[in-house]
A = this chain, B = another copy of it.
Amino acid sequence: MIVHMSRTATPEDQNRVLDRITKMGFKYELLGATGINVVGILGDLSQVPESNFADLCGVAKVMRISKGYKLVSREYSAKSKVIELGGGVMVGGSELTFMAGPCSLESVEQMMAIGAYVAPMGIKIIRGGAYKPRTSPYSFQGMGLEGLKLLATIREKYGLKIVTEATGLHHHIDKDGNKETRNVLENVIEYADIIQIGARNMKSYGFLQELGILTKDCKKPILLKRGDSSTLKDFLLAAEYIVANGNPNVILCLRGIRTFEEEKFQRYTPDIGAITVLKRESNLPVIFDPSHSAGYRANVAGTALAAVAAGADGLLIETHNDPTNALCDGDQSVTEDQLKDIKSKADAIWNLLK
């Protein structure tokens, strides 16, 4: 629920509103640019009539936000959120964002090779999974903490920001059976510039809650991926979990959804239409991952350019210096040349439409 104070309302009027909110057991957030004007009330207000606030002195209007998600909605804040990563790197700002890198971290050589071609293209954020969610318990589960340290080296060497996935609150076990002392999320929070939450965890609400709490102070940006069969409403509510628990810096990341795709054609369906819907419904930046719908390298460019034309704020792309020998997702990783081509065309479309 949002309470708009009238132009002539006094600080005392507003305090009376805040007081009532607190006494009813709710929290609030001041939304206006100056001290007095708009108050957002947080919590389950489904049983609270508007009149509880409308009858207070100085109140101009009371609006109910009925969609479930509040803090992430356009109704709550019409202004699009810009997320700053430091050093002038932004997501949701005036430049198209590129995040590129391998699915999985494999070795120093691999990351040096990829960093060496990604950075000169003007790409400022590198991706790479240290912890990998794998459908089989017998598959390579990622380099773990060692991988995070490798990412930090690459960041240093090439001046790149890092986005990497936190797969949960468990403790990673390496292939020799050794367990890391801190849990995965704690490790990722320390090393990453952007903390990725994968599609498979989008509905792990307890994890999202803990994530919001643990990043309440540092406010490190969270890249939240849409679950492969999640509705957009549920996707926005998952973002709301993080924001409501203390971290407002959420980047929405779309990817393919599960439909009735055919082998050899594409793996998931890129729901490009969701970009328009999310930009209208939410104030958060929207990134598109064309690699996780494509399935095959030859499909990536078309979907990437489509996402930019549809209004996405950026792209998250898998690239590999040696795709045929990649440990994971090699089929859908683009080469250096393909990445360069996508980047230049995507930038051109972005500039054309701005």
Contacts and interface: CB of A to CB of B under 8 A. Distances in A.
Contacts of A307: 306
Interface of A: 42-44, 68-69, 131, 133-140, 167-173, 183-184, 200-201, 203-207, 209-210, 228-229, 231-234, 237-238, 240-241, 244-245, 256-260, 262, 265-266, 269-277, 280-281, 293-294, 298-299, 301-303, 305-311, 345, 348-349, 352-353
13 contacts: A44-B136, A133-B203, A136-B237, A136-B240, A137-B237, A204-B204, A257-B259, A258-B260, A259-B259, A270-B271, A276-B301, A302-B311, A349-B352
Given A133-B206, A137-B205, 10 more contacts: A68-B138, A133-B203, A137-B241, A168-B205, A265-B277, A270-B272, A272-B303, A272-B306, A280-B298, A303-B310
A87 to B, nearest CB: 30
Contacts of A209: 137, 170, 173
A273 B258 contact: no
Q: Which of A44, A169, A206 has the most CB of B within 10 A?
A: A206
A44 B259 contact: no
A131 B206 contact: yes
A302 B308 CA distance: 9
A269 B271 contact: yes
Contacts of A204: 133, 167-168, 200-201, 204, 207
Given A137-B245, A299-B273, A260 B262 contact: no
Contacts of A168: 168-169, 204-207, 210
A35 to B, nearest CB: 26
Contacts of A245: 137
A135 B183 CA distance: 25
B352 A137 contact: no
A200 B203 CA distance: 5
Contacts of A137: 205, 209, 237, 240-241, 244-245
A229 to B, nearest CB: 3
Given A205-B134, A302-B311, A229 B169 contact: no
A168 B348 CA distance: 44
A145 to B, nearest CB: 14
A159 to B, nearest CB: 30
Contacts of A206: 131, 133, 167-170, 172, 184
A262 B302 CA distance: 26
B43 A273 contact: no
A137 to B, nearest CB: 4
A76 to B, nearest CB: 13
Contacts of A234: 135
Contact of A272 (B138, B302, B348): B302
A266 B170 CA distance: 35
B309 A262 contact: no
A237 B270 CA distance: 23
A43 B140 CA distance: 10
Contacts of A270: 271-273
